[in-house]
Structures are given as C-alpha cells and as structure tokens.
A = this chain, B = another copy of it.
Amino acid sequence: MRTSRLEAFSDGVLAIIITIMVLELKVPHEPTLEALGGSVTGFLTYLLSFVYIGIYWNNHHHVFQVVERVNGTILWANLHLLFWISLLPFTTAWMDETTFARTPVVIYGINLLLAAVAYYVLQQAIFHAEGGAGLRQALGRDLKGKASPILYVCGIALAFVSSWLAMIPFVTVAVIWLVPDRRVERYLATRE
C-alpha cells in the first residue's frame, strides 16, 4: 500500500477526532455567563486535547515522509495508534464531566501514555521498513520522544496528590512538542 493512502485515511480519522470533541461540550441551558462558566473546564480540556491531536497529526507526517510504501506491520501499528487517540474524546469528556476528579485524570494520563507507546511502536515498525533506517538516524537520541512517557508517568503519579498538579506535566509535554520538529526536515534536506 502506498504511504499516501495510509496518510489520507489517518488524516481523516484525526480530523474527525479533533472535531467531534466539540460535540462533547455541553451547551449550557441558561443564557448567562455563570452557566458558561460551567463549560470552562470543558473548554480547557478541549484545548489541551486539540493541541495533542494537532501534535500527533504533525509528527505523523514527519515520520511517514521517509517511507514510500507501508507493510502490514506499519499498517496495524498505525491503526493501533489511531485507536488510542480515538479514545481521547471519551477520556477528555469524563475528566471534564467530573471537573478533574482524580480517577478520570489518571485515566486521561494513561490514555496519553498508551498513545505515546503506540507511537513508539509505530516508529520502531518504520525503522525496520525499507528506507526507515534514515528516520532512526534523523531522530538521533530522540530526547523529546523519551521524555514524554516519563512526564506522563509523573503526571499520573502527581494526580494522587492533586489533579491540578497532574496537569502540569501533561501541559509541559504539549508545549515541548508545539515547537515543530526540524530533525526530519533537516534529514530530508541533507538526503537531497
């Protein structure tokens, strides 16, 4: 299967996930700012998950730029990643509905962690595919990729102290990935 096909399908799924989260935002019944205030946590969690999915979409293309054809392993590793990302609207909505209670925040962290693991597995699958060795070289020591799961685990642990403390590592991961990753671009440029 050509990479473009897999990318188009993944783009479609990510576009839908990023958008349907807004359907989970409860429309207030009262026309007052106080009623809207009840949607503020919903708004913030929506923003966080929106940024996360934006980051996955962005990185997804970077790693797929080095391979031209995908094999069965990559295909299922990719669906595995999409599966965990597709649960984000659910865990985000639960965290919002319970206004950051401990258990939902822990589950949200676990969801982020499992998506990161799935992404790691996908990267490994690409490393072993045709042309994938270059990606390994391009990513180098991959500090960001290694720091993210550690930060998720910190967040999950901190949730047992305070839900709000847990959000600090979760937001931190989003911020360090917001800066676009130039490693792959640099590698592709040097290859040409």
Contacts and interface: CB of A to CB of B under 8 A. Distances in A.
Given A16-B19, A36-B94, 6 more contacts: A9-B15, A9-B57, A28-B94, A31-B94, A71-B180, A76-B180
A83 interface: yes
A72 interface: yes
Majority SS of interface residues in chain A? helix
Interface residues of A, number: 58
A12 B8 CA distance: 9
Contacts of A63: none
Contacts of A57: 9
A27 interface: yes
A47 interface: yes
A23 B92 CA distance: 12
A103 B32 CA distance: 6
A25 interface: yes
